């Protein structure tokens, strides 16, 4: 009988610890288990009607583990036949990414290790992934909005886990409001890399505003009275996100007949915060720039009977067609 991915994760973690301790004492290695999250990730996928490994096997042939610690999850995914990038900041990683490099060599692995400061205006231009695993890292970032919006430009699916809170330390409610609590430098786990602890509504709004659809959502830990900093009242949210597709639409289509030229309003949204360009082609003729921007609306007040107007939304450098709509006018 084939083992579940969770069972393989348990066996992989055991094997990795043998390798780790053969190279360095336990104190050298990231102290928390990352592979115990696999059971929750499988639950998220199943709730959305998806298979965890199958959604990782898309057209790009590659996944990323961001904030990967020693890369345990990446090595498990590679064992299952996936090509994996490990993305972390060597200056804030527990052992400067040396642990991941040691394991890569010991396992004769082909994973790619990228040291990137996620608190900078980083770029992963040219990189595309079928899925990104972004676990336990969001609340360590100064600008989580920028990060999630950036990820929406390079992957279809994203697994996110982060700490959330139902109330403040003195019992003031956070749960009903779309807010984030900024912790003090040593307030949460004596760790000055902790920044934003979201309410569940705050996290869901962040997800929506950065170009994602929330497919499934699970919370674990103290789900009744969690706070931003108390280690005994820690709650974690696990999310499976799917990139929201770009949109392009016409307010009237077909445009009703009448005297003079007809009018319709063209609306567009690239969904991920990137700049888009809307071109129009009349009767399959040459494209002409109609409008540009991340999102917006513009009036097309020259729609005539007997002609066909194809509006096309492209990325900023006109290399990828994101959406299109054909507008016509009724004969009367």
Q: Are residues 164 and 81 in the same domain?
A: yes
Is the residue at 332 inside a domain?
no
The radius of gyration of the chain's CA atoms, rounded to the nearest angstrom, is 24
Structural domain range at position 321:
247-327
Identify the pLDDT of residue 1.
46
Q: Are residues 196 and 267 in the same domain?
A: no
Is the residue at 304 inside a domain?
yes
Q: Are residues 233 and 307 in the same domain?
A: no
In the chain (332 residues long), the average pLDDT of successive 10-residue segments reads: 81 96 97 94 96 96 97 97 96 95 98 93 85 96 94 96 96 95 92 93 97 97 96 96 97 93 97 96 97 97 96 96 96 74
Provide the whole-model pTM.
Answer: 0.91
Q: Are residues 169 and 274 in the same domain?
A: no
* 3 state DSSP class of 173: strand
Q: Dihedrals φ, ψ of 222, to 5°?
A: -80, 90
Q: Are residues 42 and 180 in the same domain?
A: yes
Here the tokens at position 65 are 């583990």
Identify the pLDDT of residue 77.
97
CATH number of the domain that 42 lies in? 3.40.50.150
Q: Are residues 112 and 97 in the same domain?
A: yes
What is the domain count for the chain? 2
Q: What is the 3-state secondary structure (H, E, C) of 120-170?
A: CCCCCCCCCEEEEEEECCHHHCCCHHHHHHHHCCCEEEEEEEEEECCECCC
Is the residue at 123 inside a domain?
yes
Q: Which of 180, 210, 243 is the last residue of a domain?
A: 243
Q: Are residues 112 and 157 in the same domain?
A: yes
């Amino acid at each position: 009988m084939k083992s579940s991915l969770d069972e393989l994760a348990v066996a992989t973690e055991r094997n990795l610890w043998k390798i780790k301790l053969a190279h360095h004492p336990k104190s050298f290695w990231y102290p928390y288990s990352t592979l115990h999250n696999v059971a929750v990730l499988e639950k998220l996928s199943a709730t959305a009607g998806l298979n965890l490994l199958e959604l990782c096997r898309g057209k790009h042939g590659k996944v990323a583990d961001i904030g990967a610690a020693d890369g345990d999850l990446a090595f498990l995914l590679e064992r299952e036949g996936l090509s994996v990038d490990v993305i972390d900041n060597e200056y804030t990683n527990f052992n400067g990414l040396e642990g991941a490099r040691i394991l890569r060599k010991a396992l004769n692995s082909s994973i790619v290790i990228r040291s990137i400061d996620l608190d900078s205006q980083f770029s992963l231009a040219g990189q595309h992934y079928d899925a990104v695993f972004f676990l336990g890292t969001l609340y360590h970032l100064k600008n989580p909005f920028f990060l999630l919006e950036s990820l929406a430009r390079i992957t279809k699916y994203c697994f996110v886990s982060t700490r959330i809170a139902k109330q403040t330390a003195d019992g003031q409610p956070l749960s009903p409001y779309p807010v984030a609590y900024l912790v003090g430098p040593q307030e949460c786990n004596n760790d000055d890399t902790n920044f934003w602890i979201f309410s569940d509504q705050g996290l869901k709004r962040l997800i929506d505003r950065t170009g994602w659809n929330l497919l499934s959502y699970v919370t674990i830990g103290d789900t009744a009275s969690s706070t931003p900093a108390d280690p005994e009242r820690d709650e974690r949210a696990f999310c499976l996100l799917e990139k929201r597709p770009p949109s392009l639409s016409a307010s009237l289509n077909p445009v009703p007949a009448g005297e003079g030229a007809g009018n319709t309003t063209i609306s567009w949204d690239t969904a991920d915060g990137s700049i888009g360009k809307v071109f129009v082609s009349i009767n399959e003729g040459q494209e002409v720039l109609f409008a540009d921007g991340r999102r917006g609306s513009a009036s097309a007040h020259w729609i005539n009977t007997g002609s066909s107007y194809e509006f096309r939304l492209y990325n900023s450098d006109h290399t990828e067609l994101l959406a299109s709509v054909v507008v016509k006018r009724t004969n009367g």
